[in-house]
Amino acid sequence: MDNAHIVRCIFIVLAALAYATNLFISQMSDPKRRPPSLQFIYGTSNKTGGGISRMYPTDVKPASWAFSIWPVIYTWQCLWILYSLTFIVRKSLPPVQNWLFFVLFTLSSVSVTSSVLLRHRFLIEAQVVTNCLLYIFLCATLGTSFYRFDRIVNKHFPKFDFWAIQVLIHNGLGLYCSWVAVASLLGINKALIYVHGFAKPTAGSIILGILAVELIVWFIVENTVFERVARYTVTIYPACIVALSGLVAKNRSSKQNYVFAIVLLCLVVVMFIARLVLVARRIFLIHRTSRSDDMEFIAVACEGAQNYEM
């Protein structure tokens, strides 16, 4: 077994353990589930995450049902982590997800764990920093996979692994990144109001504006620069649709941000539909071109055979 594979295997296991720790700490943040022996980890707080959040009301906050997306996100990450554990015994598979990929994901898990613990100590600004780091690490993780996928995968790459990487890893991380982007902005919104003294409508408009810019930039980039590697990654928009639907459902008191959220929700829905249409069109063109090439090859081969017989 070569050293590179051993190093990669070590980081695969570390990433799995870090994520398992993250899930455990997140589950134990609920006082009803937490044994007394773990209370010291969470400080003096006996509130749930939702209870702490309600201590800091804002004009821009999703309805509680929107956060039910977390189990979907967690399950999706578990599935691709289980898939990645097969890399340990499959040495012949090209290492699309290398050691750096797993290091970055491990750092993202550490960031989540830190954010949960800081939240229970009511350290708003520190939690914002860890949420932003989480977003950066997740984007870097997905970007690393995109880059190596573009360089390594070819027509000889196993079809099962091609789709496993696309569906489990790229779309799983895409959903995670998108939701964390929204969560990070919600944390910034809270810090602007309760640490820096911004008015609630102003702070809400700022973070909705940032989200709008992020979505527009991503839509342009994914359909141009990253089109080839992000072609089958379509989970960015559903997470934002859930978040914005939750915002619209709950925050009707602030007319300014309510209208802003509705407009942004409509924009995201249009982007999502446009994205699906563009992806379907490109896949159709690729298959048609591939089929034409195959038919041309067959025609040339038949012509050659006829000439040989003559």
**pLDDT beyond 50 at 296:** no
Task: Return phi, psi of residue 122, to 5°.
Answer: 60, 35
List the alpha helices (DSSP H) in 165-199. 171-194
**pLDDT beyond 70 at 285:** yes
- Domain-by-domain residue ranges, the chain? 3-43+56-286
Q: What is the pLDDT of residue 282?
A: 85
pLDDT in tens, 267-277: 999 999 999 99
Q: Measuring CA to CA, how many Å separate 86 from each of 79, 164, 170, 176? A: 12, 12, 17, 22
Q: How far apart are CA 258 and CA 130, in angstroms?
A: 28
Residue reference for tokens 């804002």: 58
Residues in Cβ contact with 28 at an 8 Å cutoff, skipping those fewer than 6 apart? 34, 35, 38, 41, 42
Q: How far apart are CA 298 and CA 202, in angstroms?
A: 65
**How many other C-beta atoms lie within 10 A of the C-beta of residue 277?**
10
Scored b (16 or more CB within 10 A) or e, 100-113 reads bbbbbbbbbbbbbb
pLDDT in tens, 238-275: 999 999 999 999 877 778 889 999 999 999 999 999 99
The number of helices, as runs of H, and strands, as runs of E, in the chain is 10, 0
**pLDDT beyond 50 at 302:** no
Task: Return phi, psi of residue 305, to 5°.
Answer: -65, -40
Three-state DSSP state, 223:
coil
Q: C-alpha angle 202/184/221, rounded to 5°? A: 95
pTM higher than 0.85 for the full model? yes
pLDDT in tens, 58-99: 888 898 899 999 999 999 999 999 999 999 999 888 889 999
Give the pLDDT mean for 19-35.
Answer: 87
**pLDDT beyond 80 at 288:** no
Angle between helices 255-309 and 200-222 (to 10 degrees): 10
